[in-house]
Amino acid sequence: MSELTVGARYAKSLIDLAQEQKLVDVIKTDMGLFIHTLKANPELKAVLSNPVIAQAKKTKILDEVFLSKVNKVTISFFKLMVDKGRGEVLYATAHEYINLYNIKMHITKATVTSASPLSAANEKVIIAEVQKAVGGTVELKAKVDPSLIGGFVLTVGSTQMDTSVLGSLKKLQKEFAGTAA
């Protein structure tokens, strides 16, 4: 079974427990901290994934790093995963928990890439339009790519809308290549 599949199962169990304990938001914050910490410290991720390192040592490291920073349910979950020999799927489980949280809370992630930084007013307009289309809350991540020349590329889930000058030029290039043949 893939890491994501296993992680999704554990994340589903954890979100169910979090609902019972009324800690869904708290544990989402903890999972965000966990992901951020592992991204910043790839050695920690490697230690948790390494089957040669003793589970007791992994548990001790988790305590040292997270005990004072996360909810007791979260740290207990981490320890349970490590005790069951599933330390390698903790990272995937944290990601899947956040994905499940976003689905449950009707949060849609969107990315807009523009040639120059967007104004706050433009970001609000884009958020409003995406919210109108998908409903729920929209978390917009803005990026800048000067190679777009002008316009923007909006990505929501697997859907992409390209209004950039670069995209238009590429489209024209394909059309000319098709008619020249």
Domain ranges, ordered by start, for the chain: 3-103, 106-180
pLDDT at residue 111 tops 80:
yes
d(CA 94, CA 169): 41
pLDDT, the chain, mean? 93
- How high is the pLDDT of residue 20? 97
pLDDT greater than 70 at residue 91: yes
Strand 159-162, strand 152-156: pairing: antiparallel
- What does the pLDDT read at residue 5? 84
pLDDT (0 to 100) of residue 1: 59
Q: What is the pLDDT at residue 180?
A: 64
Question: What is residue 176's predicted lDDT score, i.e. its pLDDT?
Answer: 83
Structure tokens at 110: 């969107």
Q: What CA–CA distance (Å, rounded) separates 82 from 39?
A: 19
Domain spanning 3-103, CATH architecture: Orthogonal Bundle (1.10)
